[in-house]
Structure 1
């Protein structure tokens, strides 16, 4: 998935194009445009936001970019609230947020547009980071972006980006991320795995530019170059071991930054009062983090250890000089790979339209994945047809061969060979045999189902073996018959009559008029 991160700063706009690969954000191209290099003599009255959108619009047109675009909402449009919610369930906590905001905001909650990061605390209750913009102001800004055709896929905030990073990297301890930019310095104070509070100061890189320009009587552009290439801070112990010119410069830098240090000291004190714990470490980022010896200088003045902010993976893709100035942009792109990506302000009634939310490249990527799924399914069907269906064919062939060799069909060896070369001939032979069998079955079907022989069998089976009684005469066909028995004594005759009368014979008629000869007639069964 291709991603274009646009970091809109007061000093420059950074375009970082990359892609997500194996849950990592890989940078493919970087371009930085300085605002003052673009601002012409006729643009002096143009606002910084308008100048930024002109640059972004021109870049998008030149690059014909169609991927996913991420940028941040300006901090001046936002106010933030950190809420403790006495609720046991997430649903109840979400319902409580509007009521708590209503009590804390100077305007009606109905006139706001906000996003929420909700967290469960150790005591099973919830806390929330709520970033709020006035609805009318946000709508105006969205329309402003639409006018320049620069509406991004994700309009997030710097606070949301860093909070996403903190959650992903599980920064649980009391630390501070200090982002020293051009116009502002932002401090994000972290406690129990979330950004517990954050602050903004307007003492930053621009103040150093102005101090250098006034002190050395040089232009603003030259002062910026000197700041990036030659400026430095010195600790108290280092002041005694440098030249007079270096001492003067270091003191000028300290004088410029002392108000910022006082503000940071108050922020750290406020954190200690709120949480009962002190900030243990400060991570520096932003363009001014490249100033030589700034980490040791801040450590000495604030009595807190300081180091450069580390974003895993970025150091292998950019130079050391670019690293700090690209930290925010890279983290914005990398947040797309995190379990909790940076929040998007285009929600609710401000959800992006189809043309803004679904880019051509995203659509192609979706179809590409769909094509892969279809290819896998086709491969499965092919394997089934080549293996399973062939197995069934072989099994069927074996059954046919076994049936043909059966003696019931009387197939000769010569006829068996027809199966391999000319199965049509064998089929014709089997059809002829089936036809002959059908004829035989029809003949058998016409044979009457009744027979007098069955009744004769019933009679003879019932009469016990007796040499004094004999069958002297029998006449019958399939429909009827009669049998005549002769006995030598009256006792045997009576016994014979008793047996014959007890038989289950259809329409039996016994003639006992002749005592020596007993005649029984019956019908077929």
Structure 2
């Protein structure tokens, strides 16, 4: 069982999800949310540090993979098609492939990639780049908290784990058409929007395969700030009012003046979100050569009453709330608010459970890779095992050096034992006890055995095969009996049979059949039925007439 802890460090709260692998898939074992102070006048650094330090004390060191995400607004993502599918070649080529588009190099940024689809011998890759300064800043924030990070991943690509088949290898599809006249059909795309407190993440999918990621600098705090300005109340109070009462009126008939004013205050901010989304979705359609058919929303603000209807009217495509938690086993609160809140944290936890066949995004590379501390932990865990293996290796080397002498001693002992047996069994003493004479003795004994068998035939002794044929003849008429014979032994006049039948009555049917050839009673022992088995074991012993004639 592998355990992974996804930590989403947001601007209004820290979300933590724990997930484990089981024989039936993935189980989400816990979800916790730690609210942060949202007063702009205060620095959250100390508050975040204290929460993570307390969390580190609850983590099983060495047994839990701890994953945090780098905010999507600090990352650059590009979809590229490479003429090879080897991951090592793709990673080496990324800096050169993207150098004209991004102001980074391998000295100032960390590059990683995820293969989304394979077309023949070509790989479609979603490349992601993070500036080293951003990674260093995140690690500095987590310094001295006691958390042993396994992964620093990408927020957007981790979020996509909630919607795609993250544990499967990339699909292999037919090669793309080539040539100047080749036309690739337009993709059928579906978008997903995660609305955070300070920013939002937009994902583009083709049949649940992630193809594009963008960040929008619009979040729920835009609405809270608008409420604060409209009602001239403190920002903290505006955030509380938004979380408790946020709604949008689909029609204003029958609504009070206060309800209309509150709804219009929120709706005015949605226009800015709609403009940003239209631009982003248009960019996706152009870059990915596709058409977006709909959008799903997640994030706490996505639960605002009638938000999906308002966004449908703005974007002119169907907009609905996203449902993804049902594909995982869990004992969490089944409210839609919980599902919407934990999305990024769950995606990060799933990122920690990815396998090498489709590995996670990892920014702990180059100078950020664990070295001394990792080696110390490995030695603490495996030091005794290494010492034991080293000791066994030395013993093996010592034995290998002495094996020639051991072999010579064994040969000598075998020769002595062979001479001793030749003297006791065959009466070959002294120089007569050679290998040639022993082989000659064994050949003579085999000839004597053959002669004895010929004498048995001469004395009209029934062969064991005759008895076996008689048993077979008596068994075959009972074709309704399900019989399996495990052992059949014929020694002199005694026949012993062990086997299995479907039920005890069938064993008694065989007993009656064999009475016709038996001399004396047929002894039958039937075992008791065993739970989970469909057969019954039995043992049968009886004597037969083999026409034995004692030679004089």
- Which TM-score bucket, shorter chain as reference? 0.5 to 0.7
- TM-superposed deviation, 1:348: 3.8
Residue 327 of structure 1 corresponds to: 343
Q: Indicate how the Cα distance of structure 1 residues 162 and 190 shifts in structure 2: closer, same or farther if over 3 A, else same.
A: same
Summarize deviations over 1:455-484 as a string: whole Å, max 9, x none: xxxxxxxxxxxxxxxxxxxxxxxxxxxxxx
Summarize deviations over 1:251-284 as a string: whole Å, max 9, x none: 1111011111111112222233334432112111
What secondary structure does 1:227 align onto?
A: helix
Summarize deviations over 1:358-393 as a string: whole Å, max 9, x none: 979x969xx9xxxxxxxxxxxxxxxxxxxxxxxxxx
- TM-superposed deviation, 1:206: 0.6
Residue 126 of structure 1 corresponds to: 123
Would the aligned equivalents of 2:95 and 2:106 in 1 still touch at CA under 8 Å? Answer: yes
**Does 1:249 pair with 2:250?**
no
Structure 1, unpaired ranges of 5+: 368-430, 446-525
Residue 310 of structure 2 corresponds to: 297
Summarize deviations over 1:212-253 as a string: whole Å, max 9, x none: 223233333332222222111233xx2234333222221111
5 Å-filtered alignment, 1:107-256, equals: 107-120=104-117, 122=119, 124-168=121-165, 173-191=188-206, 194-235=209-250, 238-256=251-269
Tell me the distance in 2 between the aligned counterparts of 1:201 and 1:442. Answer: 101
Summarize deviations over 1:4-37 as a string: whole Å, max 9, x none: 2211111100222343222533333333211108
Structure with larger Rg = 1
- TM-superposed deviation, 1:204: 1.3
Between the two structures, name the one with larger relative contact order (CA 8 Å, sep ≥ 6): 2
- TM-superposed deviation, 1:134: 2.4
Q: TM-score if structure 1 supplies the norm length?
A: 0.61
**Does 1:308 pair with 2:321?**
yes
Summarize deviations over 1:434-493 as a string: whole Å, max 9, x none: 78996x967999xxxxxxxxxxxxxxxxxxxxxxxxxxxxxxxxxxxxxxxxxxxxxxxx
Structure 2, unpaired ranges of 5+: 172-186, 386-419, 434-552
Tell me the distance in 2 between the aligned counterparts of 1:442 and 1:100. Answer: 87
Residue 13 of structure 2 corresponds to: 12
What secondary structure does 1:258 align onto?
A: helix
Would the aligned equivalents of 2:116 and 2:211 in 1 still touch at CA under 8 Å? Answer: no
Q: Indicate how the Cα distance of structure 1 residues 241 and 314 shifts in structure 2: closer, same or farther if over 3 A, else same.
A: farther
Tell me the distance in 2 between the aligned counterparts of 1:310 and 1:217. Answer: 36
Equivalent residue pairs, number: 370
Summarize deviations over 1:487-524 as a string: whole Å, max 9, x none: xxxxxxxxxxxxxxxxxxxxxxxxxxxxxxxxxxxxxx
Would the aligned equivalents of 2:162 and 2:346 in 1 still touch at CA under 8 Å? Answer: no
**Does 1:79 pair with 2:97?**
no
Q: Indicate how the Cα distance of structure 1 residues 357 and 243 shifts in structure 2: closer, same or farther if over 3 A, else same.
A: farther
Residue 454 of structure 1 corresponds to: none
Tell me the distance in 2 between the aligned counterparts of 1:233 and 1:265. Answer: 20
Q: Indicate how the Cα distance of structure 1 residues 276 and 435 shifts in structure 2: closer, same or farther if over 3 A, else same.
A: closer
What secondary structure does 2:34 align onto?
A: strand
Would the aligned equivalents of 2:157 and 2:213 in 1 still touch at CA under 8 Å? Answer: no
- TM-superposed deviation, 1:344: 1.9
